[in-house]
Amino acid sequence: MSDGKSIEELPLDAFVGPGAVISVVKGGGEEVTAADLEESGVVVDRGDILMLHTGWDEKFETDEYNLHPYLSVDAAEWIVARGAKMFGIDCITVDLPTPLRPKGFNFPVHRALLGND
């Protein structure tokens, strides 16, 4: 993806620091929205490393794993607006699950996050 830095271009301090964890329980193919993140009540400060727990890690190595919850574009924008310096999720990708992607899918959540370093 050409909208952001590759891992070797990031400074080491990008991977270390205070953080926050938000838990949002969603089913396979369900969207995690900005409202879900906001309603969690978890404070995300500028420079935090934000981790999203959906519980999907428990499905790793099962047939269900590839039909995971995903971030909406407004959720990605919410993360960027709060200045999180790193984001992680317990799914294979932040974008729409592969089985649900239309032809020409352009990874809008990846672009929103990576395009903002």
What are 61-91's pLDDT values in tens digits?
Answer: 998 999 999 999 999 999 999 999 999 999 9
Give CA torsion, residues 99, 103, 104, 108, to 10 deg. Answer: -40
Q: Beta partners for 51?
A: 21, 88
Q: What is the DSSP letter of 75?
A: H
For residue 1, the model assigns a pLDDT of 43
For residue 4, the model assigns a pLDDT of 64
Triad 16, 18, 20: Cα angle to 5°: 120
- Do residues 114 and 3 touch, judged by C-beta distance below 8 A? yes
Looking at the whole model, is its pTM more than 0.85? yes
H or E element at residue 24 = none
